[in-house]
Structure 1
Amino acid sequence: MSDGVERWVFGYGSLMWRPGFSFVERTAATLHGRRRAFCIYSVHHRGTYERPGLVLGLAPGGAVRGMAYRVAEADWPAVYDYLREREQPTETYVEARRFVRLATGRRVECLVFLSDAERPQWAGALSLERQADLITGAVGLSGPNEDYLRDLVAHLRQEGIVDRSMERLLALVEGRLGA
């Protein structure tokens, strides 16, 4: 039974181009008060305990452009379960509801997964140089960390999003790799 509430999900990383769930609407959106950042140590997917890499999180401050997905009420339970499994395997993120501004100007409340500064995986506000050091050469179950960064920047560009800090970080990493 519907409660009349629209169900929205906000993605700022791979959820933008690989949501993995059914949706009825996809639109550009901006979340204020958080920014896209490599602020989470990765010891499985993009690094190891001996050589951690970094993955994206939503760190406090700024604003982030991403995608909002409206999910049909009938699909919501399955989508919600999928997202909890995808985004919470190590409980690195905090599930929250935040308002985003859609490209149309409309504000909607979205499910979003925020970085949790209380978790041991929280890397915090690292300099771009330190981020590049950690990303360069780190490899985990999902492959090289620099591939994750390249993929992110390529997809952001495809969406018309210029994230200057991600562009600078990629340039630093590629410089270290001699690319």
Structure 2
Amino acid sequence: MATWIFGYGSLIWRPGFAFDDKRVGFIRDYRRVFFQGSTDHRGTPAFPGRTVTLEPCPGEICWGVAYKLKEEDKKIALEDLEVREKQYDMKLYLDFFTDLYSLTPAISDVMVYYASPNKELNPNYLGPAPLEEIARQIVKAEGPSGPNRDYLFHLEDALLKFGCEDPHVRDLANAVRRLI
């Protein structure tokens, strides 16, 4: 059985694994939010950056990219993803759509890394905050993978390249630009 991974953050522009197929599309009833702390990539334990997770939100959609793992590379890809996405405490298996008007998913059971709001399971969850506060944190944060603002700007650019303007990402990127 094929393994598909849904990327809605850095996996969009930098999957980091071999894949057989790639499709732009979305999952339903979730929205992308900068509520997850990053102490290993875009921040430090002393000053976490912010990365995206999903928030359940009936009626919303979250655009991203689904990747079909190469069967011969699946074991290595999943091991690498477990390290890369280690601050995400859950995996969800969701339906992935490519057509806004279809009720039938293009792919069922796409694996999605999810950072839950449960602080016992996910100590790096930062949660919601005013937009300007999130922007200030992103401007100041930097980790081994680079400045937190680069993550935000790469995400904004990647989404725009396939015709998606995410209001949360857009508003946050504009707030960060005002501060730098």
Please, what TM-score do these two structures have when normalized by structure 2?
Answer: 0.85
Number of aligned residues: 171
Please, which of 13, 18, 22 is the counterpart of residue 17 of structure 1? 13
Q: Deviations for 1:27-69, whole angstroms, at most 9, x for unmatched residues? A: 1121112211111112332223333221121222232000111
Secondary structure of 1:113's counterpart equals: strand
* Cα-Cα RMSD: 1.9
Q: How many Å apart are 1:103 and its aligned residue?
A: 4.4
Change beyond 3 A, Cα 1:9–1:103: farther
- Is contact 1:102–1:108 with CA below 8 Å preserved after alignment? no
Residue equivalent to 1:37: 33
Structure 1 residue 14: Cα displacement: 1.4
Unpaired stretches in structure 1, ≥5 consecutive residues: none
Percent same amino acid among aligned pairs?
A: 32
Could you say if the C-alpha distance between residues 82 and 45 of structure 1 is closer, same or farther in structure 2, counting changes exceeding 3 Å? closer
Kept in 2: contact 1:139–1:145 (CA 8 A):
yes
AA at the equivalent of 1:50:
A
1:74 pairs, out of 72, 75, 89, with 72
- 1:128 aligns to what? 131
Residue equivalent to 1:163? 166
- Alpha carbons 2:88, 2:113 under 8 Å: kept: no
Given that 1:101 and 1:107 are in contact with CA atoms closer than 8 Å, whether structure 2 keeps it comes out as: yes
Please list, as runs of the form range in 1=range in 2, the aligned pairs for 1:87-98 lying within 5 A after superposition.
87-88=85-86, 91-98=87-94
Structure 2 gaps of 5+ residues are none
The match for 2:24 is 28
Q: 1:98, 1:154 → 2: CA distance?
A: 25
Residue 7 of structure 1, CA deviation: 1.6
Q: Secondary structure at the match of 1:172?
A: helix
Q: How does 1:55-74 map to 2 (within 5 A)?
A: 55-61=51-57, 62-74=60-72
Aligned-partner Cα distance in 2 for 1:44–1:69: 24
